Structure 1
Amino acid sequence: MPLARPSPASLRHPVRLGQSLLQLAQQRRHARVHDVRFVTTHQASAVLEKYRSKLEQKAKEEGLGSVLELKEAYKDKIQEMRKQAAAQAPPPPPSPQRQGQGLSDRGVGGTGIKPLSSYLDVSKMHELPAKEIEYIWRLRFASDPLSLCAVVPLSTYQRMQATARQHPQFILPLPRPGADDGSSADEGGSAKTNAAAADVHFLQWAFHPPASGSGSGSSNTHTSTVIFTHLAAFKLHGAYAQPHTTITHHLDLADSHGIVLLNGGVVEGRGVSVEEGRWLLMCLQRFYDVQGQGQGSGEAGARDKRQGLLEKFSRGDAGFSLEELLDEAERMG
Structure 2
Amino acid sequence: MNSGGNENMSYRSLYISKNFNLFNRCVGLPIQYRNAVALDNIRFVQTKAAKEDVLNRYKEKLEKKMKEEGAESIEKLQEKYKDKIEKTKIELNRMDPLTDLEEYERKATKNGHKVTKLRSPRSPEAPVKPYKVLDDFLKLEKIKDLSPDQVEFLWRARFQEKENVLVAVIPRDIYQKLYTNARENPSFILPLPKEEEGVEIHFIQWAFPGPNTTHCMFTSLAEYKLHKEYAKPHTTLMFHHDISDDKDIVLMNGAVEQDANITLPETQLLVMNLQRFYGALAESPASIRRLQLLKDFTSGNENFSLDVVIQEAQSLEN
Q: CA–CA distance in 2 between the matches of 1:13 and 1:237?
A: 18
With over 3 angstroms needed to count, the CA separation of the structure-2 counterparts of 1:112 and 1:287, relative to structure 1, is same
> 2:166 — aligned with what?
148
Where does 1:224-303 land on structure 2 (aligned, <5 Å)? Answer: 224-289=214-279, 292-293=281-282, 300-303=284-287
Q: CA–CA distance in 1 between the matches of 2:288 and 2:253?
A: 29
Matched, 1:200 2:287: no
1:301: Cα distance to partner? 2.2
> 1:157 — aligned with what?
175
Q: CA–CA distance in 1 between the matches of 2:222 and 2:267?
A: 17
Q: Secondary structure at the match of 1:201?
A: strand
With over 3 angstroms needed to count, the CA separation of the structure-2 counterparts of 1:144 and 1:13, relative to structure 1, is farther
Q: Secondary structure at the match of 2:315?
A: helix
Matched, 1:112 2:130: yes
Contact 2:97–2:304 under 8 Å retained in 1: no
1:208: Cα distance to partner? 2.0
Amino acid at match of 2:219: T
Gaps of 5+ in 2: 1-93, 103-126
Gaps of 5+ in 1: 1-6, 16-105, 180-196, 210-220
With over 3 angstroms needed to count, the CA separation of the structure-2 counterparts of 1:13 and 1:198, relative to structure 1, is closer
1:332: Cα distance to partner? 4.1
Q: CA–CA distance in 2 between the matches of 1:203 and 1:256?
A: 30
Q: TM-score, normalised by structure 2?
A: 0.59
Q: CA–CA distance in 1 between the matches of 2:140 and 2:266?
A: 31
* 1:51-109 deviation per Cα after TM superposition (whole angstroms, max 9, x unaligned): xxxxxxxxxxxxxxxxxxxxxxxxxxxxxxxxxxxxxxxxxxxxxxxxxxxxxxx9xxx
1:131: Cα distance to partner? 0.9
With over 3 angstroms needed to count, the CA separation of the structure-2 counterparts of 1:12 and 1:205, relative to structure 1, is farther
Match of residue 157, structure 2, among 129, 134, 139: 139
Where does 1:1-333 land on structure 2 (aligned, <5 Å)? Answer: 9-11=96-98, 112-177=130-195, 197-209=198-210, 221-289=211-279, 292-293=281-282, 300-332=284-316
1:279: Cα distance to partner? 1.3
> 1:87 — aligned with what?
none
Amino acid at match of 1:256: D
Q: CA–CA distance in 2 between the matches of 1:169 and 1:203?
A: 5
Aligned alpha-carbon RMSD (Å): 2.5
* 1:247-291 deviation per Cα after TM superposition (whole angstroms, max 9, x unaligned): 11111111110111101100012111111111111111111125x
Amino acid at match of 2:135: S
1:223: Cα distance to partner? 1.1
With over 3 angstroms needed to count, the CA separation of the structure-2 counterparts of 1:315 and 1:330, relative to structure 1, is same
Amino acid at match of 1:271: N
Contact 2:101–2:306 under 8 Å retained in 1: no
Percent identity reads: 37
Q: CA–CA distance in 2 between the matches of 1:324 and 1:13?
A: 14
Aligned residues: 200
Q: CA–CA distance in 2 between the matches of 1:278 and 1:271?
A: 14
Amino acid at match of 1:118: D
1:128: Cα distance to partner? 1.1
With over 3 angstroms needed to count, the CA separation of the structure-2 counterparts of 1:311 and 1:10, relative to structure 1, is closer
Q: CA–CA distance in 2 between the matches of 1:171 and 1:227?
A: 11
With over 3 angstroms needed to count, the CA separation of the structure-2 counterparts of 1:324 and 1:13, relative to structure 1, is closer
Q: What stretches of structure 1 move > 3 A for 4+ residues in a row?
A: 12-15
Q: Secondary structure at the match of 1:283?
A: helix
Q: Secondary structure at the match of 1:206?
A: strand
